[in-house]
Every structure is written in C-alpha cells, then in structure tokens.
C-alpha cells in the first residue's frame, strides 16, 4: 500500500519510511532542484520533468522500472566486494563474477580487492593480474578492474608525506600545498603502474572510483593517470567515478590541462574526464540524510540532466549507497532504489548507472 488517505509512502535520506502528501513531495522536488541550480549553476528541470518525477515518487507500485526501450547499462563499482565480503558469502571473486553474469544478469562487473585503494594494490598487483586473467577466461560480460586514488593514504603515518589536513589548520600553507603536490605525483605513478599491469592482464576497463575524495590533488592524480593510460592502452575502457558533486579545493591552485579543478561541478567534471581520455563518467551527487527522497532525487536528477546535456562521453550515474539520491543506508530499500534508477534514466537521460 503506497497511499494511505492522501499521503504517499516515501523515504527520507537515511532510508527511514515516511508519509508525505503529493504537494509536500512536489515542494521538495522543487526545492531539491533549486539547490542544484543555485549551487551547481545547472539548468533547471522543465515542468514536464517535474511532473514525471512526482509521478515516479508517488507511483502505486512498490518497485518501479523504466518503460520498455529506456533501459541503460549497469556497472558495479567495487563489484566483487559485495557478495564475497559485505554479504559474507564463502565464494571466491571469480565465482562472484559468474554469479553476477549468470544469475543477476549484470551488464558488466568489476574485479576489485577488499583494500580498495591503488596505493595498497601495488604490493599485490601481480596476484590481482592473475585473478583478472582467470576471470577473463571464464566470463563473457565486460570485467573491469577498479580502486580508489585515496590520496589520504599517502600521508603520515600511512605514507611518506606530511598530512595537509593537519598542516592547514596550523597555518602551514606552503607546506600543505607542497605535501599535496608530492602525494599527487606519487599517486599518479602508482595508478599508472597498477593500471598498466591490469591492462596487460586483459582487463576490459579500469575504474577510478571516488576521484577527488581527498580534494583537488586527489582528482589531479587520477586525471593525469587516466590521460597516460588511455594513450598507452587505447583498447582499455577507462571510467572515472567522482567522489562528490564538486572537487574540494584542499590545494586550490591545481589545474589539469589549464583548467582549475577546485570547485568543478559535474558539468565541468565530465569535460575534464573527457580531456583525460575517459570513455565514460560516473556522476556523483551526495545524499542529504535529513532530507526526503524527493528532495535528494530531484537535486541529483537535475545535475544528471545538466551533465548529460554537455557530455561528449556516456554518463553513468553513481547510484549506490548515499549517492544519486539513494538513501544513506547499507541496504537501500528497493522502493527508493528503483525510483532513483528510473528517474536518472528517463528524466536525467543518463546512459546508465
């Protein structure tokens, strides 16, 4: 039962259930869109999009789907973590890939390691390459390899460089800038090293996940690594998923091919990814756990439509936990998940997820 009296069943950003009137839902759709327009300088949704989104959110069905013909492609960041680690199933990664291919019917999958950072993978990349070769012999669907730049791992005590998050509050600005530049350069080299080995192991593609998680220096490392790898391995499909709807300017002065990275929102992030040689772009809009699904989804879809409008490469919306409008909870309710998927493809015109 999705409707009780004049109230519709829906969710808050933390996944909890709530009941809202159609007018309240429409109001939150408008407010969410306005947030994207105001902060991200996006184009607003048109009246038809708004009504379509309200219809999706108030649909009578528990779970919804796209209309026939509107299907997109699905990719799965950190795919082999889900069954084998998060769900605790006693299967190895190649078996998990096969389950996704045969039983879940995933369009693509991603081989990854539990320690999902490129820096950590340096020590075990040869074994990861062996797993990739094995996976490629057994699987039909595209199998990518993925990890995160995760620049924070390069700071002391885990890494060799000073921690700029500690330097900045102490007013050591020049030292903080230098530390980020050094870490970014090393991270780039590490990602080229790992990416090259995985490409030569037959990976269909390489995924850079949460680009910009540690700020603009983190993003720069990923874009520069992608630029090198895309030229070195033209058959390697590179996909870049962001960490946030804007790059945080922890450094503030870093540029990629002449464009400042700090403060870039998705419409500019996608152009940077294109310039770096990426074949597809993973747009990220973070969920506000205090707001409604209507607010979060509207905000996210507004960014999607604006990004797709300018993108020269496919846009695959990150619609995992806490992003894309999906509630910030480990097990997202399917009523919310399916509404997010439908909205991004039919209103946002995304190429997939």
Partner 1 sequence: MAISHEIAAGMGGIRTAGDLVARMVLKGMKLNQAKEYVAQKLGCQVIDLSDSAKMKEIRESLDIGTTLDRKHAANGIAAKMKIAEILDIRIPSVELFKKKLGKA
Q: Could you list the residues that contact partner 1 (CB under 8 A)?
A: 63-66, 68-76, 79, 82, 100-108, 133, 136-144, 199-205, 233, 235-237, 239, 279-280, 313-314, 316, 319-321, 326, 331-332, 334, 337-338, 341-342, 344-345, 351-353
CB of 291 to partner 1, least distance (A): 20
**72 vs 215, beta carbon nearer partner 1:** 72
**63 vs 288, beta carbon nearer partner 1:** 63
For residue 68, give every residue at least 6 positions away whose Cβ sits within 8 Å of its Cβ, in sequence order, or none.
none
Identify the DSSP state of 44: P
CB of 326 to partner 1, least distance (A): 8
Task: Give yes or no for a contact between 26 and 57, defined as CB atoms under 8 angstroms apart.
Answer: no
| Chain center to CA of 347 | 19
- Report DSSP letters for 122-172, one per residue: GGGHHHHHHHHHHHHHH--S-EEEEEB--GGGGBTTTSSB--HHHHGGGT-
For residue 129, give every residue at least 6 positions away whose Cβ sits within 8 Å of its Cβ, in sequence order, or none.
197, 198, 200, 201
**47 vs 137, beta carbon nearer partner 1:** 137
Task: Give yes or no for a contact between 337 and 69, defined as CB atoms under 8 angstroms apart.
Answer: no
CB of 56 to partner 1, least distance (A): 11
**139 vs 183, beta carbon nearer partner 1:** 139
**69 vs 157, beta carbon nearer partner 1:** 69
CB of 235 to partner 1, least distance (A): 5
**66 vs 85, beta carbon nearer partner 1:** 66
CB of 290 to partner 1, least distance (A): 22
Closest CA to 72 of 322, 314, 254: 314
CB of 81 to partner 1, least distance (A): 11
**139 vs 250, beta carbon nearer partner 1:** 139
Q: Which two tokens stand for residue 191?
A: 């990602």
Task: Give yes or no for a contact between 163 and 156, defined as CB atoms under 8 angstroms apart.
Answer: yes
Give me the torsion for CA of 298, 302, 308, 311, rounded to 10°: -130
**73 vs 168, beta carbon nearer partner 1:** 73
Q: Report how far residue 261's alpha carbon sits from residue 255's, in angstroms, rounded to the nearest whole number.
A: 6
| Chain center to CA of 229 | 20
- 158: buried, middle or exposed (CB in 10 Å: 19+, 13-18, 0-12)? middle
Q: Report how far residue 44's alpha carbon sits from residue 29's, in angstroms, rounded to the nearest whole number.
A: 11
CB of 107 to partner 1, least distance (A): 4
CB of 353 to partner 1, least distance (A): 5
């Amino acid at each position: 039962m999705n409707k009780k009296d004049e109230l519709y069943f829906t969710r808050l950003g933390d996944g909890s259930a709530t009941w809202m009137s159609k007018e309240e839902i429409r109001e939150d759709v408008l407010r969410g869109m306005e947030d994207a327009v105001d902060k991200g300088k996006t184009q607003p949704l048109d009246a038809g999009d708004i009504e379509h989104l309200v219809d999706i959110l108030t649909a009578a069905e528990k779970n919804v789907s796209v209309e026939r013909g509107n299907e997109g492609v699905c990719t799965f960041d950190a795919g082999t973590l889900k069954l084998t680690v998060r769900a605790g199933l006693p299967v190895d990664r190649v078996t998990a890939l096969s389950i996704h291919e045969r039983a879940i019917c995933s369009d693509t999958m991603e081989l990854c390691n539990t320690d999902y950072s490129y820096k950590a993978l340096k020590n075990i990349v040869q074994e990861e390459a062996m797993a990739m070769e094995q996976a490629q012999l057994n699987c039909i669907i595209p199998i990518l390899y993925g990890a995160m730049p995760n620049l924070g791992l390069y700071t002391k005590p885990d890494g060799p460089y000073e921690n700029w998050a500690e330097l900045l509050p102490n007013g050591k600005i020049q030292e903080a800038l230098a530390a980020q530049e050094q870490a970014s350069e090393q991270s780039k080299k590490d990602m080229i090293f790992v990416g090259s080995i995985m490409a030569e192991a037959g990976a269909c593609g390489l995924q850079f996940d949460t680009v910009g998680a540690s700020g603009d220096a983190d993003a720069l490392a990923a874009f520069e690594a992608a630029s090198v790898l895309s030229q070195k391995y033209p058959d390697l499909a590179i996909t870049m998923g962001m960490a946030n709807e804007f790059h945080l300017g922890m450094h503030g002065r870093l540029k990629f091919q002449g464009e400042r990275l700090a403060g870039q929102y998705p419409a500019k992030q996608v152009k940077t990814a294109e310039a770096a040689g990426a074949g597809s772009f993973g747009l990220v809009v973070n969920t506000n756990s205090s707001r409604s699904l209507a607010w979060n989804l509207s905000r996210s879809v507004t960014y999607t439509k604006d990004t797709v409008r300018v993108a020269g490469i496919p846009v695959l919306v990150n619609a995992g936990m806490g992003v894309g409008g999906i509630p910030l909870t480990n097990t997202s309710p399917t009523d919310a998940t399916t509404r997010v998927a439908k909205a991004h493809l039919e209103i946002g015109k995304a190429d997939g997820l």
